[in-house]
Amino acid sequence: MEVRVRPGRSLRGEARVPGDKSIAHRALILAALAEGDSEVHGFDPLDDCLRTLEALRACGVSIEMTSPGMLRIAGRGRDGLQEPAGTLYCGLSGTTMRLLAGVLAGLPFTATLDGDPPLRRRPMDRVVEPLRRMGARVEAADAGHAPLIICGGGLHGIDYALPVASAQVKSAILLAGINAQGETVIREPAPSRDHTERMLRWLGVPVEGDNGAIRLVGGTRWRGRAFALPGDISAAAFLLVAASIVQGSEVRVGAVGLNPTRSAVIEVLRGMGADVTILPTRRGADVDGPEPTADLLVRPAALHAVTLGGALIPNLIDELPVLAVAATQAHGETVVRDASELRVKESDRIAAVAEELGAMGGRIKALADGFVVEGPTRLRGATVDAHGDHRMAMALAVAGLVADGETVIRGAETVTKSFPGFFDTLQALGAEVA
């Protein structure tokens, strides 16, 4: 699929972004492990989330879409999932594979997790190692890649120091710890997304945290309840950058999740000089839940360069491709370091950003663990490729909004992974997209 983007029109109006898929995965899983029924509101049928949903159904969980955006899930209890009849297909979703690996490690049966070739290339050894230490038998392909064959049950708690900050690995260990004997302690080298801990506490599961250590004692059960998903801030980031660099714009993005471990993109944009205002959300009770939410109002501003690295990067990893676009319009040299994780996402995002923005005239240099962007640059329209990566497709569309001439994005269908209505949203705000 090709999408054509032309510059010249301001972006104005209100927009909604999909329900946060990181939180949706966790809501589906914890509702499935609850006692009794739960409802998940604000659910968007994104590819990754559907992989988790179908895997849970394959383990005996009844999940029904009762109306658009609302699921009813009949929980089976923390130890009530059934052995699946076949392989659990994770598609391209690393979150599905890693989180379900933790769930399945605590259950007394054998299950196989597999996915598409790009997922098979993503490293799974960081989750396999701690699950093995907890007592699960996990077989993996060479170098710790999928498919993963998990023979679970009989787990014991461990005290484990994560080699790198990873919310997915942390969450997998916590989910395994639910059915483990004794206390599980996870020590983080830097803060990572805390959606799992936050949601477990909201459900009544005692999870303690201090000085970079998260503690959970296995054996707790919880009742089902209604989950409300906030808007995905990683999806909102593309609209925030677009409205920041397209002159004459004013965009309000509604009910966005502002979890402190996810919202660094707002502070980075503000640090670059962006005009982003946080406002009370206009949506009512449907935003109640364990996550803070707000509306975001953004207008154009003169941007300047920043240097990003260290403990900030795990909080910002998914937003770096579109921040690279912002950097092409910022005064000075923007430097991103300590982001080697970008190399093993849906694409090698460091190489892809450098190649495609370079083709549009951006002055960008790839580093082993990041990139350097010199700005401001007058971009030019070009034919570019999404590299099979949803965030690359959206970042290139944002770049096309300020490029001279037409930008053609090949592989634009990949946006369905996280923001199926992205191009429609740009059109509704006034962009020329076809």
Which one-letter DSSP state was computed for residue 90? -
What residues are paired with 424 via a beta bridge? none
Q: Using CA atoms, how far apart are residues 215 and 206, in angstroms rounded to an integer?
A: 8
Choice among 20, 194, 295, 318 that is catalytic: 318
CA angle centred on 355, ends 263 and 386, rounded to 5°: 65
Per-residue HEC secondary structure of 1-31 comes to CEEEEECCCCCEEEECCCECHHHHHHHHHHH
- Determine whether 318 is an active site residue: yes
Lookup result for tokens 């990566």: 389
* Residue 147, preceding peptide bond in cis (omega within 30° of 0): yes
* Residue 376, preceding peptide bond in cis (omega within 30° of 0): yes
Burial status of residue 343 (CB atoms within 10 A of its CB: 0-12, 13-18, 19 or more): middle
Count Cα neighbours of 307 within 13 Å in the Cβ-side half-sphere. 1
Q: Using CA atoms, how far apart are residues 37 and 24, in angstroms rounded to an integer?
A: 16
| Helix segments in 123-249, DSSP class H | 125-133, 167-177, 195-202, 233-245
Please give the positions annotated as active site.
Answer: 318
